[in-house]
Amino acid sequence: MVSIEKIWLTEDAVWIRTTDGREASECFSYYPRLKNATAKQRKNYTYDAYGINWPDIDEDLSFEGFFSTKQRTELYRLFIEHPELNASAVARRMGISQSLFAQYISGAKKPSKKRLDDIFNTIRSIGLDIVGAVDSRS
Protein backbone atom coordinates (compact mmCIF):
# COMPACT_ATOMS: atom_id res chain seq x y z
CA MET A 1 0.00 0.00 0.00
CA VAL A 2 1.20 3.52 -0.82
CA SER A 3 1.48 5.86 2.18
CA ILE A 4 0.60 9.45 1.24
CA GLU A 5 2.11 12.55 2.79
CA LYS A 6 0.58 15.24 0.57
CA ILE A 7 -2.05 15.71 -2.17
CA TRP A 8 -2.24 18.85 -4.29
CA LEU A 9 -3.87 20.08 -7.49
CA THR A 10 -2.49 22.11 -10.37
CA GLU A 11 -4.47 23.47 -13.30
CA ASP A 12 -4.17 20.23 -15.22
CA ALA A 13 -3.31 17.44 -12.76
CA VAL A 14 -3.60 15.96 -9.29
CA TRP A 15 -0.28 15.26 -7.57
CA ILE A 16 0.69 13.06 -4.65
CA ARG A 17 3.82 12.73 -2.53
CA THR A 18 4.48 9.55 -0.59
CA THR A 19 6.00 9.43 2.86
CA ASP A 20 9.19 8.08 1.24
CA GLY A 21 9.41 11.18 -0.98
CA ARG A 22 8.20 9.86 -4.35
CA GLU A 23 5.94 12.17 -6.35
CA ALA A 24 3.54 11.31 -9.15
CA SER A 25 0.66 12.91 -10.98
CA GLU A 26 -2.39 12.04 -13.02
CA CYS A 27 -3.51 14.48 -15.72
CA PHE A 28 -7.14 15.54 -15.60
CA SER A 29 -7.31 15.09 -19.37
CA TYR A 30 -7.07 11.29 -18.90
CA TYR A 31 -10.32 11.30 -16.92
CA PRO A 32 -13.32 12.93 -18.61
CA ARG A 33 -15.10 13.71 -15.35
CA LEU A 34 -12.04 15.46 -13.93
CA LYS A 35 -11.32 17.14 -17.25
CA ASN A 36 -14.82 18.63 -17.40
CA ALA A 37 -15.10 19.42 -13.69
CA THR A 38 -15.02 22.94 -12.34
CA ALA A 39 -12.14 24.03 -10.13
CA LYS A 40 -14.54 23.93 -7.17
CA GLN A 41 -15.56 20.33 -7.96
CA ARG A 42 -11.91 19.28 -8.30
CA LYS A 43 -11.03 20.85 -4.95
CA ASN A 44 -13.82 18.92 -3.24
CA TYR A 45 -12.16 15.55 -2.73
CA THR A 46 -11.80 13.02 0.05
CA TYR A 47 -9.20 10.31 0.40
CA ASP A 48 -8.50 7.17 2.33
CA ALA A 49 -5.61 4.73 2.48
CA TYR A 50 -6.34 3.53 -1.06
CA GLY A 51 -7.12 6.59 -3.13
CA ILE A 52 -8.90 9.84 -3.82
CA ASN A 53 -12.64 10.33 -4.36
CA TRP A 54 -14.37 13.35 -5.89
CA PRO A 55 -17.98 12.95 -4.73
CA ASP A 56 -19.37 15.83 -6.83
CA ILE A 57 -18.31 14.15 -10.06
CA ASP A 58 -18.22 10.52 -8.87
CA GLU A 59 -14.56 9.90 -9.77
CA ASP A 60 -12.02 7.73 -7.96
CA LEU A 61 -8.26 7.34 -8.45
CA SER A 62 -6.19 4.76 -6.61
CA PHE A 63 -2.83 5.81 -5.17
CA GLU A 64 -1.18 2.68 -6.56
CA GLY A 65 -2.39 3.70 -10.02
CA PHE A 66 -0.27 6.85 -9.87
CA PHE A 67 2.88 4.71 -9.93
CA SER A 68 1.82 1.86 -12.18
CA THR A 69 2.48 1.55 -15.87
CA LYS A 70 -0.73 2.57 -17.51
CA GLN A 71 -2.41 -0.37 -19.17
CA ARG A 72 -5.32 0.61 -21.32
CA THR A 73 -7.49 -2.29 -20.20
CA GLU A 74 -10.83 -3.24 -21.60
CA LEU A 75 -12.51 -1.62 -18.60
CA TYR A 76 -10.45 1.55 -18.98
CA ARG A 77 -11.46 1.90 -22.63
CA LEU A 78 -15.11 1.23 -21.78
CA PHE A 79 -15.26 3.94 -19.11
CA ILE A 80 -13.24 6.45 -21.17
CA GLU A 81 -15.39 5.90 -24.26
CA HIS A 82 -18.60 6.07 -22.19
CA PRO A 83 -18.18 8.77 -19.54
CA GLU A 84 -21.90 8.53 -18.87
CA LEU A 85 -21.15 5.26 -17.06
CA ASN A 86 -20.78 5.78 -13.35
CA ALA A 87 -17.95 3.58 -12.07
CA SER A 88 -18.77 4.18 -8.41
CA ALA A 89 -22.41 3.24 -8.98
CA VAL A 90 -21.37 0.03 -10.76
CA ALA A 91 -19.07 -0.85 -7.85
CA ARG A 92 -21.84 -0.15 -5.31
CA ARG A 93 -24.32 -2.23 -7.29
CA MET A 94 -21.81 -5.10 -7.31
CA GLY A 95 -21.06 -4.67 -3.61
CA ILE A 96 -17.33 -4.14 -4.11
CA SER A 97 -15.06 -1.34 -2.95
CA GLN A 98 -15.06 1.73 -5.17
CA SER A 99 -11.29 2.01 -4.71
CA LEU A 100 -10.81 -1.59 -5.83
CA PHE A 101 -13.05 -1.00 -8.84
CA ALA A 102 -11.01 2.11 -9.74
CA GLN A 103 -7.88 -0.07 -9.59
CA TYR A 104 -9.47 -2.54 -12.00
CA ILE A 105 -10.27 0.30 -14.41
CA SER A 106 -6.80 1.85 -14.15
CA GLY A 107 -5.08 -1.51 -14.58
CA ALA A 108 -3.40 -1.28 -11.18
CA LYS A 109 -5.15 -4.55 -10.28
CA LYS A 110 -6.39 -7.22 -12.63
CA PRO A 111 -9.82 -8.73 -12.00
CA SER A 112 -10.28 -12.46 -12.37
CA LYS A 113 -12.14 -13.68 -15.45
CA LYS A 114 -15.21 -14.32 -13.28
CA ARG A 115 -15.03 -10.82 -11.75
CA LEU A 116 -14.62 -9.25 -15.21
CA ASP A 117 -17.65 -11.22 -16.45
CA ASP A 118 -19.60 -10.03 -13.38
CA ILE A 119 -18.64 -6.42 -14.13
CA PHE A 120 -19.80 -6.62 -17.75
CA ASN A 121 -23.00 -8.45 -16.73
CA THR A 122 -23.72 -5.71 -14.18
CA ILE A 123 -23.23 -3.02 -16.82
CA ARG A 124 -25.52 -4.92 -19.21
CA SER A 125 -28.10 -5.24 -16.41
CA ILE A 126 -27.99 -1.48 -15.81
CA GLY A 127 -28.54 -0.90 -19.52
CA LEU A 128 -31.51 -3.28 -19.55
CA ASP A 129 -32.97 -1.54 -16.48
CA ILE A 130 -32.71 1.81 -18.26
CA VAL A 131 -34.31 0.46 -21.43
CA GLY A 132 -37.08 -1.11 -19.34
CA ALA A 133 -37.75 2.18 -17.57
CA VAL A 134 -37.91 4.03 -20.89
CA ASP A 135 -40.18 1.38 -22.43
CA SER A 136 -42.57 1.55 -19.47
CA ARG A 137 -43.05 5.28 -20.11
CA SER A 138 -44.36 4.55 -23.62
pLDDT band for position 43 (50/70/90)?
Answer: very high
Q: Which of 30, 40, 22 is nearest to 102 (CA)?
A: 30
Give the per-residue pLDDT at 67. Answer: 83
Give the per-residue pLDDT at 23. Answer: 94
Q: Which of 63, 30, 29 is nearest to 45 (CA)?
A: 63
Give residue-wise pLDDT tens across range 44-98.
Answer: 999 999 999 999 998 899 898 888 766 678 888 888 788 788 888 899 999 998 8
Terminal CA-CA length for the chain: 50
Give residue-wise pLDDT tens across range 18-39.
Answer: 999 999 999 887 787 888 899 9
Read out DSSP for 11-47? Answer: SSEEEEEETTS-EEEEEGGGSHHHHTS-HHHHH--EE
pLDDT band for position 138 (50/70/90)?
Answer: low
**50-84 exposure pattern, b = at least 16 Cβ within 10 A, e = fewer:** bbbbbeebebbbbbbbbeeeeeebebbeebeeeee
Give the per-residue pLDDT at 115. Answer: 94
Give the per-residue pLDDT at 71. Answer: 64
Give residue-wise pLDDT tens across range 100-132.
Answer: 888 888 777 889 999 999 999 999 999 898 888
Give the per-residue pLDDT at 2. Answer: 82
